[in-house]
Amino acid sequence: MRRGPAVFVVLAVFAVTSASTARASSYVQRKVSSGQFPIHTACMMPPQASLTRISVKGAEGMTVESAAWAAALETLVEAHLKSAGVEINSAASPLSSGASADEIRSVIIDAQQKFRSVSALMDKKPGKISKAAYTLSDQVGMLPCSVNSDVLVFVQGAGQVVTAGRGAMTLLIGGPVDAAVLLVTMADAKTGEILGMIRIRPEDDFVQKPEKSFGDRLNNELANMNVGSARKNAQASGHWN
């Protein structure tokens, strides 16, 4: 699959601290979890991810590593959606629409700008997702993939990587540790209404081994949300009641 360009941003919603621990949670509208709005097709928006290296000299961005991690997170989420029987399309693909690359890119940029503003609100009050409080507007329906997709999927990640020297200082006097957060948000592909969000904070090697860090928790939350056949798969394996 040809991927769209990764966009790297640092948002308040991505805050990671030394107090972060391994947690996973999901917030979803009842019509999704009940099966009233089944999710069987998804359009993947370009991933957004950033990594920061923290050394004894301070913090610095990791541009190359961030790009690779963004691609890895997108691949991870796609793989788990596919394993739940969800068909995947790319937001950058014209499909049979005849839309130009520039036209599609413009719609993607507009959707991502709207999503960034909504993300900040969702981070503060994620429980309001269940009350249909957030939307990207029906402009997202202009994406060619929206016609054949139930949802748009936004993959976001942020992480901080502590160097060995800074880690030794942390052991002695306290301070930052390796920490990350992965967010997977789903919006109605036709109306832009936010339908659900998954938030995962790992405790493992999230850069080099994203599947180990996020995979099981992602499966569990997809089952909780009732995405595709994730719940049925989890019940069959005895991992969901």
57-115 tens-digit pLDDT: 889 999 999 999 999 999 999 999 999 999 999 999 998 888 899 999 999 999 999 99
Asked which of 89-98, 152-161, 170-179 is least confident by mean pLDDT, the reply is: 170-179
CB 187 within 8 A of CB 193: yes
Which residues on neighbouring strands pair with residue 152, listed in sequence order?
43, 187
State the total domains in the chain.
1
Residue with tokens 């991810």: 49
CB 132 within 8 A of CB 29: yes
Residues in CB range of 106: below 8 A, 6 or more apart? none
Q: Any idea how long the chain is? A: 241
The parent domain of residue 68 ranges over 12-237
Rounded to 10 degrees, the C-alpha dihedral 204/89/39/109 comes to: 80
- Tell whether 5 is covered by a domain: no
- Tell whether 90 is covered by a domain: yes
Q: How confident is the model at residue 241 (pLDDT cuts 50, 70, 90)?
A: low
- Tell whether 26 is covered by a domain: yes
- Tell whether 4 is covered by a domain: no
- Tell whether 127 is covered by a domain: yes
- Tell whether 94 is covered by a domain: yes
- Tell whether 2 is covered by a domain: no
- Tell whether 50 is covered by a domain: yes
**Beta pairing class for 23-28 and 41-44:** unpaired
